[in-house]
Amino acid sequence: MADRPESAAGQGSNKPSLSLHVPEPHYRPGDAVDFNHVDAGEPGRDPRPDETCDPADMRDLAYGLVRVLGDDDRAHGPWDPKLDADTLRTMLKNMAITRAFDERMFRGQRQGKTSFYMKCTGEEATSISAAMALASDDMVFPSYRQQGILLSRGYPMIEMINQIYSNRGDKLKGRQLPIMYSSREHSFFTISGNLATQTPQAVGWAMASAIKGDSRIAATWVGEGSTAEGDFHAACTFAAVYNAPVILNVVNNQWAISSFSGFAGAERTTFAARGLGYGVAALRVDGNDALACYAAERWAANRARANAGPTLIEFFTYRAEGHSTSDDPSGYRSAQEREEWPLGDPVMRLKRHLIALGEWDEERQEAMDREAAEMVRATTKEAEANGILGHGLHHPFRTMFEDVFEELPWHLREQAEQAIKEREIKFPEGLPK
């Protein structure tokens, strides 16, 4: 009978002991912050290849950082999308509205008007600028921090607030966690709380569009932490194999809810580089540069429409706020990080660019911010008339059994009748106020 091998650390072993590497962020609470390790590069440095090029020919773009706006607040290099001033002002306005919306909804959650909210502060360009580069009927499959897409596409703000409050005006009838919107009319696929499920859905939709000979493409957004999910890699495989007309947007904001991007692989390589392994065109972009975000998304959209295949874009940005209202980032990262982030704030950078062009000024910015805040305030008051958390103004109880089957099966009819009867017994005079 053969001898059983001893463990490496066992008695008499001369084999070296193994050690497990656990990623650790550069800074923890209380640490001084220095982002010198971030190689931002010079704006305009990276070349802009032909939109139908071989992915292998753009390898370096997955490791660099596509930038347009420089420290002089001017646009530089071949990625400059050369947008007119009106488009830039619209982009800035969409960002201002989104930021005002976030502030009001965050306060509403703290006031007990809703159970949950997630802000996108510092990441507005990754959704608003990117969405403006797409056609209005291109199908988007968002994650939970892309509210700017809906606002940019003209979705009624009151419908968003009704959904957040899960009130009687909520078109989703309280069946979704707050902020998980859905709008077929605005080509906005239902947000899911299950991480990365939207990525294979986007690829499948894009494949169907190609099969039908349609002209619409798909775009999806996912956080860098979610790229560790199996669904993301399945999506990349199908996108590459079937040359799907899809854009895979990875928003690398450095942090998941409490773990930094190293746990998803950021210590080893860039997230854009994951595309290279699948033979997918890949770009790494300054996610706080509104012009670079627009240019990269438009490049990828043009590529998809030319039947040249999918693109993976890593938007290199920073989550300025907590992951959600349930999160306290002071418990796991330095309070200095937000101020020291070397790529600045996307809203301020776009504002300064317009000022440098002579197309904007501080007075108009202040007026825009006031107007946005007042619009959000007035719309919130209107939505609150439909009910807030705990006020009992919601859809009728019976509706929880509806909208799944064309005709309710007998066993669900029995459950519905029993539930309604028990409710009437418990509250014979109606629900307590």
Q: What is the mean pLDDT of residues 76-97?
A: 98
Given this model, what pLDDT does residue 394 score? 86
Q: What is the mean pLDDT of residues 83-97?
A: 98
Q: What is the mean pLDDT of residues 318-346?
A: 94
For 141, phi and psi rounded to 5 degrees? -120, 90
Q: pTM for the complete prediction? A: 0.92
Given this model, what pLDDT does residue 9 score? 53
Given this model, what pLDDT does residue 66 score? 98
Q: What is the mean pLDDT of residues 12-40?
A: 88
Given this model, what pLDDT does residue 2 score? 53
Provide the sign of the torsion angle of the four alpha carbons 144, 147, 153, 155, taken in this order.
Answer: positive
- Kindly report, residue by residue over 350-378, the tens digit of the pLDDT: 999 999 999 999 999 999 999 999 999 99
Given this model, what pLDDT does residue 228 score? 95
- Kindly report, residue by residue over 157-176, the tens digit of the pLDDT: 999 999 999 999 999 999 99
Query: Terminal CA-to-CA distance of the chain, rounded, Å?
Result: 78
Counting residues of the chain whose pLDDT is more than 70, the rounded percentage is: 97
**Is the distance from CB of 91 to CB of 132 less than 8 angstroms?**
yes
Q: Place 3 in a pLDDT band, splitting at 50, 70 and 90.
A: low
**Is the distance from CB of 267 to CB of 23 less than 8 angstroms?**
yes
Residue in 330, 328, 334, 259 with CA at minimum distance from that of residue 32: 334
Residue in 80, 84, 45, 91 with CA at minimum distance from that of residue 357: 84
**Is the distance from CB of 338 to CB of 308 less than 8 angstroms?**
no
Residue in 233, 239, 143 with CA at minimum distance from that of residue 195: 143
Mean of pLDDT over the chain: 94
Given this model, what pLDDT does residue 390 score? 86
Q: What is the mean pLDDT of residues 310-318?
A: 98
**Is the distance from CB of 217 to CB of 209 less than 8 angstroms?**
yes
Q: What CA–CA distance (Å, rounded) separates 61 from 224? A: 18
For the chain, what are the domain ranges?
55-384, 397-426
Q: What is the mean pLDDT of residues 268-277?
A: 96
Q: Which single residue is written with the structure tokens 């499959």?
A: 141
For 45, phi and psi rounded to 5 degrees? -70, -40
Q: Which of 29-38, 70-79, 332-341 has the highest mean pLDDT?
A: 70-79
CA angle 46, 51, 53 (to 5 degrees): 85
pLDDT at residue 420 is higher than 90: no
**Is the distance from CB of 37 to CB of 251 less than 8 angstroms?**
no
CATH placement of domain 55-384? 3.40.50.970
Given this model, what pLDDT does residue 307 score? 97
CA angle 61, 64, 65 (to 5 degrees): 100
Q: Place 431 in a pLDDT band, splitting at 50, 70 and 90.
A: low
Given this model, what pLDDT does residue 99 score? 98
Q: Place 432 in a pLDDT band, splitting at 50, 70 and 90.
A: low
Given this model, what pLDDT does residue 123 score? 98
pLDDT at residue 12 is higher than 70: no
Given this model, what pLDDT does residue 247 score? 98
Q: What CA–CA distance (Å, rounded) separates 425 from 127? A: 49
SS3 of the chain: CCCCCCCCCCCCCCCCCCCCCCCCCCCCCCCCCCCCCCCCCCCCCCCCCCCCCCHHHHHHHHCCCECCECCCCCECCCCCCCCCHHHHHHHHHHHHHHHHHHHHHHHHHHCCCCCCCCCCCCCHHHHHHHHHCCCCCCEEECCCCCHHHHHHCCCCHHHHHHHHHCCCCCCCCCCCCCCCCCEHHHCECCCCCCCCCHHHHHHHHHHHHHHHCCCCCEEEEEECHHHHCHHHHHHHHHHHHCCCCEEEEEEECCECCCCEHHHHCCCCCCCCHHHHHCCCEEEEEECCCHHHHHHHHHHHHHHHHCCCCCEEEEEECCCCCCCCCCCCHHHCCCCCHHHHCCCCCHHHHHHHHHHHCCCCCHHHHHHHHHHHHHHHHHHHHHHHCCCCCCCCCCCCHHHHHCCCCCCCCHHHHHHHHHHHHHHHHHCCCCCCC
pLDDT at residue 11 is higher than 80: no
pLDDT at residue 391 is higher than 60: yes
- Kindly report, residue by residue over 101-149, the tens digit of the pLDDT: 999 999 999 999 999 999 999 999 999 999 999 999 999 999 999 999 9
Given this model, what pLDDT does residue 14 score? 87
Given this model, what pLDDT does residue 258 score? 86
Structure tokens, 180: 């998980």
pLDDT at residue 5 is higher than 70: no
